[in-house]
Amino acid sequence: MNTTLTIPNGVAEIQEVNGVKYLVARLDTVRTCSDFISELKAGNPVIVPFSKRAHLTGLLKKEKVFTRQKTVIAGQWVTFLPCSEREFKS
């Protein structure tokens, strides 16, 4: 089954990493770390710019929100996935 997606100009791009093409949508630039924390507390995964990774990690530890991180594209995007309680790394 083929699906056609209509994407407004300027909000997405196709990036190729190791021969695999990814559709990368631009995130809303007005979202704050507290918005991301709210999403994670609601049980939803979030994708954040790599530049916010360290700051968000510190806030999550402070709020005791447990997540797993996965790099989507090195140096550009990181996924935070909610998870059950676990020990934080030192």
What does the alpha-carbon distance between residue 85 and residue 50 come to, in Å, rounded to a whole number?
A: 24
pLDDT of residue 21: 79
pLDDT of residue 27: 56
Residues 5-54 have pLDDT tens digits of 566 566 677 778 888 877 776 655 577 888 889 989 998 888 888 888 99
Alpha-carbon separation of residue 60 from 19, 63, 87 (angstroms): 34, 5, 13
- Supply angle C-alpha 6, 10, 16, rounded to 5: 85
**What mean pLDDT comes out for the span 60-65?**
91
Collect all residues with Cβ–Cβ distance below 8 Å to 25 and sequence separation of at least 6: 7, 11, 12
The neighbouring-strand residues paired with 20 are: 17
